[in-house]
Structure 1
Amino acid sequence: MIALFVGLRLYAVLGQRTGHEQRPVTRPEATPGAEPAPARPDVSAPAAEPSGLAFGEGAAGGIRAIIAADPGFDVARFLEGAQAAYRMVLEAFWKGDREELSRLTGDTVRDAFEAAIAEREAAGHKLDNRLVGIERALIDEARLNGRDAEIEVRFDAYVAAVTRDAEGNLVAGSLSDALPTNDIWTFRRNLDSGNPNWLLVETEDAA
């Protein structure tokens, strides 16, 4: 598994969309005569098996260029490491684990995450979120600029989100109802570097 040291430009993406700190997660009231809502995944179920599709058609040229420049690059291994990083960063942020975030992130994202955690602590809130599973991890784009490789990975996942107060009382959310979350994370690495780690340089909401 590739260990990834992670940097992030838009911490609010994780703090609001994926962290679900600011919006309650509630089950909608049933409307008479309405079609039933599609079932969400059981939070106790294991993560879905990844699709065999590793990258989109638009990324093929970039992947070929990266492999030509670095024959040791392995798409499957990269995606395995990217999924591990996705889970570790989210869980560390949700738990407020500053030490783990410091190990996984660069200075900018670490400072941003620590500020968000401090704000959460000041409000007396704790997150009890769970990454139910990553439904799909797909390389959406890939490019080689000189010796700098960049790979955009789309993550389609389900998160069960709960906010509690300092006494553990429920403020918002439900662990029995998972929400879909769709992110694109951009990883960068200089192929001449002796460090095999990819740096996460950007996140955005997937369309």
Structure 2
Amino acid sequence: MVALFVGLRLYAVLGRRTGHEQQPVIRPAEPAAGPELAPASDAGADRAERAGLVYEDAAARGIRALIAADSSFDVARFLDGAQAAYRLILEAFWRGDEPELAQFVGDDVRGSFSAAIAAREAAGHTLDNRLVSIERAVIEDARLEGRTATIVVRFDADIAAVTRNREGEVVAGSLTDAVPTHDMWTFRRVLGSDDPNWLLVETDDA
């Protein structure tokens, strides 16, 4: 029941339609390429064009392929959910909540997050960070390889970050001065799978 609840929670965040400790950089192996899908229908193309403000031109072809493969996919709704996931995952990482993170990230990202949390704890540090705002979120790339859909989202955000020691004293950062951050997060899902969740499989600096 707990697993079902957590799964449904992420489903609500990303949907089917759709530091200061910096998160670790993960670059997993790419999945095997599959046959390219036929071009999207005119209706699908129109839907993609209407969402043009939320993705870059380089992502257009992949977005059209996703819409052709899954008519329920909605670009704007996915991007709204991705922003919610960005906040949720960052806050879980800052808290050191590994069980929470495990539901939303792939194996490689989870391993890197776990190592960073362990190193932080060994140093006696805690993070008192706050996501002030997401100034911009845009899809930089989208692709469909076989039935595996991959979407890369760039987040430009302001984060107030403080690192404290065991005594609660500030050793780095400030909660009064937000730091601009630029992240590239990659989400992945197998279309048609029983699991409706998009997982975070890679993070990088933009």
The TM-score, its normalising length taken from structure 1, stands at 0.73
Map of 2:190 onto structure 1 = 190
Any gaps of 5 or more consecutive residues in structure 1?
Answer: 5-11, 17-51
**How far is the alpha carbon of 1:139 from its aligned partner?**
0.6
Q: Distance in 2 between matches of 1:75 and 1:134?
A: 18
1:14 pairs, out of 23, 27, 32, with: 23
Map of 2:106 onto structure 1 = 106
SS in 2 for 1:105: coil
Contact 1:2 1:80 in 2 (8 A): no
**How far is the alpha carbon of 1:115 from its aligned partner?**
2.1
Contact 2:23 2:113 in 1 (8 A): no
Q: Distance in 2 between matches of 1:106 and 1:63?
A: 22
List per-residue Cα deviations over 1:9-36 (Å, max 9, x = no partner): xxx95159xxxxxxxxxxxxxxxxxxxx
List per-residue Cα deviations over 1:44-88 (Å, max 9, x = no partner): xxxxxxxx9211111111111110110000111111211111111
Pairing of 1:137-176 with structure 2 (within 5 A): 137-176=137-176
Q: Distance in 2 between matches of 1:109 and 1:58?
A: 25
Pair 1:181-2:190 in alignment: no
**How far is the alpha carbon of 1:140 from its aligned partner?**
0.7
**How far is the alpha carbon of 1:157 from its aligned partner?**
0.5
List per-residue Cα deviations over 1:158-199 (Å, max 9, x = no partner): 111101111111111110101111011111111121222112
**How far is the alpha carbon of 1:111 from its aligned partner?**
3.0
**How far is the alpha carbon of 1:2 from its aligned partner?**
3.6
Map of 1:79 onto structure 2 = 79
Map of 1:49 onto structure 2 = none
Contact 2:132 2:157 in 1 (8 A): yes
What is the root-mean-square deviation of aligned Cα atoms in Å? 2.1
> Percent identity between the aligned chains?
66
Q: Distance in 2 between matches of 1:147 and 1:187?
A: 14
Pairing of 1:108-123 with structure 2 (within 5 A): 108-123=108-123
**What is the aligned residue count?**
165
Distance 1:162 1:87, change over 3 A: same
Distance 1:107 1:201, change over 3 A: closer
Q: Which moved more, 1:167-176 or 1:95-104?
A: 95-104
Q: Distance in 1 between matches of 2:62 and 2:158?
A: 29
1:129 partner letter: N
Pairing of 1:32-111 with structure 2 (within 5 A): 53-111=53-111
Q: Distance in 2 between matches of 1:59 and 1:120?
A: 37
1:189 partner letter: R
Q: Distance in 2 between matches of 1:15 and 1:143?
A: 23
The TM-score, its normalising length taken from structure 2, stands at 0.73
SS in 2 for 1:104: coil
2:140 partner letter: D
Query: Larger % of helix: which?
Result: 2
